[in-house]
Every structure is written in C-alpha cells, then in structure tokens.
C-alpha cells in the first residue's frame, strides 16, 4: 500500500530548512543523492518535490559549521605601555 505524503516545492522546502532557494538549488545540483544513493527529491515534470523525510535527510547531509570560539573563553592579555613623566 502506498501512503500519501505531503509534498513541498523547492521554494517551500528551502523556507522550511531556513535556506535561500538558490543556495538549496545549487547544493542539490552538486549533492543529488544521500550516502545510500537515494535522491533527495522526486521529479514531477521539471518541478522538484520534497517530503518531510527528504527535508530531514537534506538537513542531516548539510555541512556542519566550524566551531567559533566564544570571545569570553579566550584569554586576553593586557599590556600597559608607560612612558616616563617629563619634569
């Protein structure tokens, strides 16, 4: 039996993922499948359609951001520059 799932267009998929449409389109062009070889979308004519499961797999495949050190966790070195007082 085939279950009916809600399908999203590329615009809605990008919005739900918090991405720009163009960025997602370019990323999908270079990453059409997941690590198991399953496509991230289905085609309906020229339109790409995404299910909730597809969006979850895309989210899992997106690159992880590099850790950014918190400014408060880095040690600051203060140096004082003093000059002699002229009398």
For the chain, the structural domain boundaries read 10-63
Do residues 10 and 43 touch, judged by C-beta distance below 8 A?
Answer: no
Check pLDDT > 70 for residue 1.
Answer: no
Coil, helix or strand at residue 76 = coil
Using 50, 70 and 90 to split pLDDT, how confident is the model at 5? Answer: confident
Would you state the pLDDT for residue 6?
84
Structure letter (DSSP) for residue 13: H
What is the pLDDT averaged over residues 10-20?
96
Residue 11, both tokens: 């615009």
Q: Tens of pLDDT along 28-79?
A: 999 999 999 999 999 999 999 999 999 999 999 998 877 877 666 556 665 6
């Amino acid at each position: 039996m085939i279950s009916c799932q809600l399908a999203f267009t590329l615009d809605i998929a990008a919005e739900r993922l918090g991405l720009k449409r163009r960025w997602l389109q370019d990323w999908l062009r270079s990453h059409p499948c997941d690590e198991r070889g399953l496509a991230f979308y289905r085609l309906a004519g020229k339109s790409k359609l995404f299910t909730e499961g597809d969006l979850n797999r895309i989210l899992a495949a997106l690159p992880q951001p590099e850790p950014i050190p918190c400014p408060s966790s880095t040690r600051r070195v203060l140096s004082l520059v003093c000059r002699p007082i002229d009398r």
